[in-house]
Amino acid sequence: MIILALNCGSSSVKYNLYDWTNKQILAKGGVERVIVGGSFIIQNVPGREDYRLEQECPDHHTAIGLILQTLTEGAQAVIDNIEAISAVGHRVVHGGEKFTCSVRIDDEVLATIREVAHLAPLHNPPNIAGIEAVRAALPTVPSVAIFDTAFHQTMPKHAYIYALPYEWYEHYRVRRYGFHGTSHLYVSKRAAALLGKHARDCNLITMHIGNGVSHCAIRNGISIDTSMGLTPLEGAVMGTRCGDIDPAIPHFMMKMENLSSDEMDTLLNKKSGVLGITGRYTDRRDVITAAQNGDPRCQLCLEIESYRLRKYIGAYLAAVGPLDAVVFTAGVGERSALIREMALQNMQHIGIDLDKQRNRKLADSKESLISSDTSPIKVFVIPTDEEQVFIEDVAAILDGSYADHMEFNYSFAQPGYGPR
């Protein structure tokens, strides 16, 4: 069985072609600058040099056609024809309240995804475009939706309802949904395995820190709270998103600067966060280099981000109760020893004792314990693998073995699992 995993963003399409039978990646890559112009595809095949081709993709249909062509034609091909693809898994950012797990896509499912597109106007439309393109190109091949929001649908009502007019929830479904669900699912299962426990016996705080940042409070293996909200704007400091702020600030600044609501939305989502503080950078590596060279705003940015991370750990410790571990994941969480160290400084009083040497010596893309052997609360760095969740969900839905994530037997939840 060969499975194609797709992640359609507003101006990109990332993909992974996986041979489920032989448990190996055949190819992975992406088309960049879809719609905006200057489009190109890059494909990586194990054992080969990367393949790159510049070709304009004015829409997602064209981009997916280019991906299928790249996989099947020429020296860069890895399968003989598109009929070799058994199923396609699609990342869908927002599933609203209806979807609590991955589902096979039919007309009714697609209609429901369209109905909640207003909750994620930057994300669901390209997700839908990808689904439609695949259904047109591969009409007999089953497609499966894997939702960013599904993992968080176990949150209790007191955690997801905002202190706003209740009618907004009743009429418009304004509530906390949370995102990065597949990442939080994957690393929580891996952390349980590293602890030698079943997920249902684990209390965790998982910290997905990349350009987008979200945290999750996990009690007995399920999400009980998460930092992103109705949209991915709420929560921690991010690359270009502001995270938690006084909600009166947008109205105040709209009056001061005569800004429209759309202009304010752009400022909060695309010109705030790390970029807003530093005025120059979104990549934390650039921020750290500049801070080490004496840039005061970059130094301040690191202090703000790490302070907010530390506050979330404290808040979620209170929400979860006795804690087994804190887990760092995603690009910054996996690779920035400095930000991890700054976030965890002086936390021995709550049971977190970071081993600075372990933290600093950590190699990229390696699961590691970075707390001391005597730390009551363990700290792990676990590289996320959302695509593995996609692939296993798709395979299980096709063979009829799929179940709720607390019951389903994911391969990566097993103690002997070796990350790809």
Q: Average of pLDDT values for 198-207?
A: 96
Contacts of 91 (CB under 8 A, 6+ apart): 5, 6, 7, 8, 127, 146, 148, 182, 386, 390
The whole-number pLDDT of residue 88 equals 95
What is the number of alpha carbons within 13 Å of residue 327 lying toward its C-beta?
A: 32
Q: List, for residues 315-331, the tens digit of each pLDDT value.
A: 999 999 999 999 999 98
Q: How many whole angstroms from its chain centre is CA 33?
A: 20
The Cα–Cα gap between 67 and 75 comes to: 14
Residues 288, 302: contact at Cβ < 8 Å?
yes
Beta strands in 126-275 (DSSP E): 143-147, 204-209, 213-219, 222-226
The whole-number pLDDT of residue 241 equals 93
The whole-number pLDDT of residue 364 equals 67
The Cα–Cα gap between 350 and 359 comes to: 19
Q: Average of pLDDT values for 175-181?
A: 95
Q: Which of 59, 80, 107, 148 is catalytic?
A: 148
pLDDT at 264 over 70: yes
Locate CATH 3.30.420.40 in the chain.
2-147, 198-381
The whole-number pLDDT of residue 419 equals 67
Concatenated DSSP letters of 272-325: SHHHHHHSS--SHHHHHHHHHTT-HHHHHHHHHHHHHHHHHHHHHHHHH-S--E
For the chain, give me the number of helices (H) and strands (E)? 15, 14
Q: Which amino acid is at 348?
A: Q
pLDDT at 68 over 70: yes
Q: Average of pLDDT values for 9-28?
A: 90
Q: What is the pairing mode between strands 378-381 and 12-19?
A: unpaired
Q: Which fold has domain 2-147?
A: Nucleotidyltransferase; domain 5 (3.30.420)
The whole-number pLDDT of residue 69 equals 93
Q: Average of pLDDT values for 272-295?
A: 95
Homologous superfamily of 198-381: ATPase, nucleotide binding domain (3.30.420.40)
Average pLDDT value for the chain = 93
The whole-number pLDDT of residue 420 equals 60
- The residue assigned the tokens 């030698």 is 196
Residues 150, 102: contact at Cβ < 8 Å?
yes
The Cα–Cα gap between 394 and 89 comes to: 6
The larger pLDDT score, comparing residue 152 to residue 416, is at 152
**DSSP state for residue 352 in the 8-state scheme:** B
The Cα–Cα gap between 362 and 397 comes to: 37
Q: Is 148 a catalytic residue?
A: yes
Measured between its terminal Cα atoms, the distance across the chain in Å is: 18
The whole-number pLDDT of residue 166 equals 98
Q: List, for residues 209-236, the tens digit of each pLDDT value.
A: 998 999 999 999 999 999 999 998 999 9
pLDDT category of residue 285 using cuts at 50, 70 and 90: very high
SS3 221: coil
Q: In what order do the strands lie in the sheet with 368-369?
A: 222-226, 213-219, 204-209, 325-329, 378-381, 368-369
* Strand-pair partners of 213: 209
